[in-house]
Structure 1
Amino acid sequence: MAMNYARSIRYILTTKEAVRVACQRTFATGKAKKGSKGGGAADAPKASTLSKEVKSSTVVGANILKEGTDPKILLDSDYPDRLWHLLDKRPALSELRRNNIETLAYDNLKRFVKLDNRARIKENNSVKAKN
C-alpha cells in the first residue's frame, strides 16, 4: 500500500516537473562576439537604406504579395470621403441618452441602440452573477 502511494507521488512530481519545463519561456541567444559584454552598438537599430523620396511617395511595408510592390501614396482627392471621418469622435451613450431619440441622425440612432443593448446585457449579467 505504501509502495503504491510512493509511486503515485513520484509520478505526480515528475509530471509537474515536465509541465513546468515544457511551459517555461525561453529566449534565443545569438553567439556573442569575443570581448563583448552585450548590448551596445551591435544591438542598435540599423539605418534605413531607403531614400527619403521613396519613403514619401510609397507606403513602405504594405505589400503582402511575394511578387508585388508597395502601393504609391495618392492625392487626398483620390481617396473616398468616408475615409477622412473614420477617426472622428463619436458620441458616448450618456450623451446620446441626453438627446431626444426622435431627432437623432440615423448613424447616431444605430449607435444608441447598439450601446444601450450592450449596457442592458452587461447589467443583466451582473445581476445574474450576484445571485
Structure 2
Amino acid sequence: MPIALVRSLRGAFSVKEVVGVVGRRTFAAGAKKKGSKGGAASDAPKASLLSNEVKSTTVFGANILKDGQDPKILPDSEYPDWLWHLLDKKPPLSELKRKDIKTLPYDDLKRFVKLDNRARIKENNSLKAKN
C-alpha cells in the first residue's frame, strides 16, 4: 500500500519536495500579544532617544543597582595602568620554549610552567586513552 501511494504521488510532487517537507523542522506559531496589531511595524528597530553627546560620555548598561545611575566615562589618566595591558598578546608555549628559561621575566616563567603542565597532562591523557 505505501509503495502504491508513493508511486501515485510521484507524478504530482518530486521526491526532493516530499523529503524537504517531511525532513523540515517546524515550530508552532507564536501567540500574539494582546493589543498587538501586527508584527512588521513593532519588529523594526527603534531610533535612539539619546543624543550623541550623552552616548559618548556615559557607559550605558553598566549600572547594577536599582536606584543607581550609569557611570560616566573618565579620562584615560583616571584608570589604572594594568587595564591598558589586558588585551596584549601573550607568547604561546612554543615561543616560550625557544627562549632561555633563566632569562624569562617572572610573568612569562609562570605562564611557561602553566602551559607546559597543561600540555603534559593532555599528552598523558591521550596516551592513557589509546591503551
Q: Please say whether Structure 1 and Structure 2 have the same fold, judged by a TM-score greater than 0.5.
A: yes
Shift in Å at residue 125 of structure 1? Answer: 0.6
The equivalent residue for 2:50 is 50
Q: What residue is the counterpart of 2:98 in the other structure?
A: 98
Deviation per CA, 1:3-45, whole angstroms, max 9, x where unpaired?
A: xxxxxxxxxxxxxxxxxxxxxx878543463xx5x5x443111
The answer as to 2:130 corresponding to 1:126 is no
Give CA deviations for 1:65-94 in whole Å, capped at 9, x if unaligned.
100000010000000010000000000000
Map 1:38-77; keep pairs closer than 5 Å: 38=39, 40-77=40-77
* Structure 1 residue 48: Cα displacement: 1.3
- Name the SS of the counterpart of 2:107 in structure 1: helix
Residue ranges of structure 1 left out of the alignment (5+ in a row): 1-24
Q: Secondary structure at the match of 1:65?
A: coil
The SS at the match of 1:72 is coil
The equivalent of 1:30 in structure 2 is: 32
Instruction: After the TM superposition, list the runs of 4 or more consecutive aligned residues in structure 1 that deviate by more than 6 angstroms.
Output: none
Correspondence for 2:24 = none
> What residue number does 1:85 align with?
85
Report percent identity of matched pairs.
Answer: 73
Aligned-pair distance for 1:113? 0.3
Q: TM-score, normalised by structure 1?
A: 0.72
Aligned length: 103
